[in-house]
Structure 1
Amino acid sequence: MTEDEAVETFYSEERWQNWLDRLADEDLDPENEDSARLLLNLQDDAAIAIAKVLAALEDDRIDEDRAVEEIRDVSDIVLAEVSFDDEDKVMLIDGVQTSLVPVFYAAEEFVVGGVVEGDVDEFVHAAADAEADEDLDAALGYVVQAGTRVIDGERLDMELVEELEYGLVSEWVNGLDSLQSAIEDPEVVEED
């Protein structure tokens, strides 16, 4: 096997663009179940890519440097500015991107620093408190720490999420829920 054959592709700009093209063709309404599912599938698909990177690292198919590089590549693709004529669609995709931010940071932190000591629920509560105090950097930091715990297998209780006031922390924790699902069942979400 040549070195090129051994290179595993975890995510691509083409894959992301296929999702965006599909969203461009859809009449999106977040209140509509099909629209909500499509946006969740978009989010889950990116989280699955991260779960696959982490699995490849765990299986020694890639090293830590490559894992960090792959996580950053997925992040760069997914978090790039999206341009649609429809401002509502831009806002909906921005929500997906926002939810995925701590997924990327948590995965990178997990690879580089390992699992953070603590409890997922406590980190989420601390993040909510920090958001209430308008310390968004600290809030994100707590959610990222919770994310390393999720990657390590600690369960994120979604009832906890329902208690959160709507805001950045609730969106970020929603991203961790996608990551948790992806780690538990990293099946590919079909684009079609």
Structure 2
Amino acid sequence: MKKSEKEKEVQYYTKERWDNWIQNVKESNFQIDDESGSSTEVFVNMMDDVVLSCLNVISKRNAKKMSADNALNAISGISEIVLCEVSAINDDVDMMIQSLQSSLLGALVSCECYIRGSYNTKTALPKLVKTAIETEVDDPEKALECISTVGARILSGKPMPEIIFDVPDGLVAEWLDGIDSIIAAMALSNEK
């Protein structure tokens, strides 16, 4: 068996794994205004699980154990699973899953951008975030491209500076949550 055939056999994230998380969410009886102590922990764990799978792909690519095409295919496979429509559960959970998926989109496009390697290395990260905020409504694709560049540069080892301006609620804020998850997962990986 050729190396490239062996690479294709590896699945970094499965639909069963995602479905298991969705089942955990259902069983959590999560409610946004729940005073009984229900937390967002299950959603944080879902996010971490997906991001760690993506970082596993990045690690293999960085170690030259995987071609760029196969790494992009692996990230695309993860995207197809975790960005698919989830059957309605209840309003609170549905809103959290949509937010989670937006955050995952930020992380996933960052991984793709990093693997491709053709991203802006000159513009300051806060400037890219500001541009994303400014273009979010009129040109969401440009905004997402800015965020993917931020994430790619984080994946390349550039530290994320403190953002000293307000990031309004919206897609950019959710995409940045995906970048924050990458930063946290990388820090966790470095501790091991």
Using structure 2 for the length normalisation, give the TM-score. Answer: 0.85
Q: Secondary structure at the match of 1:125?
A: helix
Conservation of the 8 A alpha-carbon contact between 2:102 and 2:174: yes
Give 2:107's aligned amino acid.
V
Contact 2:114 2:152 in 1 (8 A): yes
For the residues of structure 2 that align with 1:40 and 1:85, how far apart are their CA atoms?
Answer: 18
Larger deviation, residues 161-170 vs 172-181: 161-170
Shift of 1:87: 2.8
Are 1:97 and 2:101 matched, yes or no?
A: yes
Where 2:40 maps in the other structure, the secondary structure is helix
Counterpart CA distance in 1 for 2:160 and 2:40 is 21
Match of 1:190 in 2: none
2:17 to 11, 15, 18: 15
- Mark the CA change 1:2 to 1:129 in structure 2 (over 3 Å): closer, same or farther: closer
Q: Which moved more, 1:75-84 or 1:116-125?
A: 116-125
Gaps of 5+ in 2: none
Aligned to 1:164: 167
| Structure 1: stretches of 5+ with no match in the other structure | 188-192
Question: Is the contact between residue 99 and residue 171 of structure 1 (CA under 8 Å) also seen in structure 2?
Answer: yes
Q: How many residues align?
A: 185
Instruction: Within 5 Å, give how 1:7-156 maps onto structure 2.
Output: 7-30=9-32, 34-117=38-121, 118-131=123-136, 134-156=138-160
Q: Give 4+ residue runs of structure 1 displaced > 6 Å after superposition.
A: 1-6
Quote the Cα distance in structure 2 between the aligned partners of 1:171 and 1:39: 13
Question: How much has 1:56 moved relative to structure 2?
Answer: 0.7
Inter-CA distance 80–138: structure 2 relative to 1 (3 Å threshold): same
Q: Does the 8 Å CA contact 1:120/1:154 hold for their aligned counterparts?
A: no
Q: Which moved more, 1:162-171 or 1:69-78?
A: 162-171
The whole-number CA distance in structure 1 between the counterparts of 2:72 and 2:150 is: 19
Give 2:129's aligned amino acid: V
> Hey, what's the Cα distance between the residues in 2 that align with 1:162 and 1:172?
16
Distance 2:130 2:73 in 1: 31
TM-score normalised by the chain length of structure 1 = 0.85
* Higher relative contact order, structure no. (Cα contacts within 8 Å, ≥ 6 residues apart): 1
Return 83-92 or 57-66, whichever deviates more.
83-92
1:82-133 per-position Cα deviation (integer Å, ceiling 9, x unaligned)? 00331321121011001111211121121123442132222111111222x5
> Residues 42 and 110 of structure 1: is their aligned pair in 2 closer, same or farther, counting only changes over 3 Å?
same
Partners of 1:29 and 1:36 within 8 A in 2: no
Q: What's the offset of the Cα at 1:176?
A: 0.6
Contact 1:110 1:151 in 2 (8 A): yes
User: CA 1:57 to 1:90, structure 2 compared with 1: closer, same or farther past 3 Å?
Assistant: same
Match of 2:182 among 179, 184, 189: 179
Distance change (3 Å), C-alpha of 1:14 and 1:74: same
